[in-house]
């Protein structure tokens, strides 16, 4: 079934550790996005990529980095995790930036 | 910067009763508007969208939303809810002036009671 796959589903991580959240889509969508979801705040954009080889900063980019080496993959890296990065992370993709986005099932990350 | 306000964080409603979820966004010349639904432990799914044309848009499961440019609103309604409509609903706005990045509201949790 076509869609977005995120891994891991959940993770508990010690503060200071490095962590990469994986996101793969098989819909050949040009645009991809990373959001974090926190209670009462909705989803906030961390980083985005309008096409392979390009990335941009969203609303809350500090402490996170991304890469877009190809169309399908868009990993999110926390270089040195901090407790405030405890959240549920969603990857999404769309045909183009003005089109509806398709979401993965999320990664629940807890930083202790 | 664009902002989206969902005035109600939680809406309890009885089965077969109507429901309205309110969404207001900050003014912009040209926007696209979306409602997404999130069921427990899942990602968001598109419920309906307004890109252009008729200001009233409908989904396949009975929801509708009306774009009101003068009031900068995009309220979501359903005349008769089912237990299965229990979920969290997010309003989102894509602002062309901001590169079409989506800005989400804080969400409204709908709890349908039998």
Q: Which of A13, A109, A21 is nearest to A73 (CA)?
A: A21
Q: In this predicted model, what pLDDT tens digit does every residue of B32-88 receive, in sequence order?
A: 899 999 998 888 999 999 988 888 999 988 999 999 988 999 999 999 999 999 999
Give chain B positions within 8 Å (CB) of A42.
4, 6, 90, 104-107
CA closest to A104 among chain B residues:
B43
Query: According to the model, what pLDDT value does residue A2 have?
Result: 67
* Residue A98 in contact with partner chain B when CB distance is under 8 A: yes
Q: Under DSSP, is residue B36 helix (H, G, I), strand (E, B) or coil?
A: strand
DSSP character at residue A101: P
Rounded to whole angstroms, the Cα distance separating B93 from B102 reads 5
Q: What is the pLDDT of residues A55-89, one digit of tens each?
A: 999 999 999 999 999 999 999 999 999 999 999 99
Please state, for a pLDDT cut of 90, what percent of chain A lies above it. Answer: 87
Euclidean distance between CA atoms B48 and B92, whole angstroms = 11
Report chain B residues touching chain A, CB-CB < 8 A. Answer: 4, 6, 9, 32, 34, 36, 41-46, 49, 51, 90, 94, 96, 99-107
- For residue A91, the tally of other CB atoms under 10 A from its CB is 28
Closest residue on chain A to B33 (Cα):
A100
Answer yes or no: do A97 and B32 touch at CB < 8 A: no
- Interstrand relation of B87-95 and B102-104 (parallel, antiparallel or unpaired): antiparallel
Q: How does pLDDT run across B2-27, given as a tens digit for each residue?
A: 889 999 999 999 999 999 999 999 96
Of B44, B99, B106, the CB nearest to A40: B106
Q: Could you give the CA distance from residue A56 to residue A59 in angstroms, rounded to a whole number?
A: 10
pLDDT in tens, A6-55: 999 999 999 999 999 999 999 999 999 999 999 888 899 999 999 999 99
Q: State the sign of the Cα–Cα–Cα–Cα dihedral A24, A89, A43, B21.
A: positive
Per-residue pLDDT band for A1 (boundaries 50, 70, 90) equals: low
């Amino acid at each position: 079934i076509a869609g977005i796959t995120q891994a891991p589903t959940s993770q508990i991580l010690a503060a200071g550790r490095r962590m990469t959240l994986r996101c793969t889509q098989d819909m050949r969508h040009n645009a991809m996005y990373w959001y974090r979801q926190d209670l009462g705040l909705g989803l906030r954009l961390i980083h985005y990529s309008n096409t392979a080889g390009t990335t941009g900063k969203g609303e809350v980019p500090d402490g996170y980095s991304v890469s877009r080496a190809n169309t399908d993959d868009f990993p999110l890296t926390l270089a040195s995790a901090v407790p405030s990065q405890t959240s549920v992370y969603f990857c999404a993709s769309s045909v183009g930036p003005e089109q509806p986005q398709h979401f993965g099932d999320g990664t629940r990350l807890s930083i202790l | 910067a664009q902002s989206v306000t969902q005035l109600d964080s939680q809406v309890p409603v009885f089965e077969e009763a109507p429901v309205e979820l309110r969404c207001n966004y900050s003014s912009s010349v040209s926007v696209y508007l979306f409602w997404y639904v999130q069921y427990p432990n899942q990602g968001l799914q598109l419920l309906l969208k307004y890109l252009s044309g008729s200001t009233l848009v409908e989904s396949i499961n009975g929801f509708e939303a009306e774009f009101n440019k003068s009031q900068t609103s995009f309220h979501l309604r359903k005349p008769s809810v089912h237990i299965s409509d229990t979920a969290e609903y997010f309003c989102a706005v894509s602002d062309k002036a901001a590169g079409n990045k989506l800005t989400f509201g804080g969400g409204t949790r709908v709890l349908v009671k039998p």
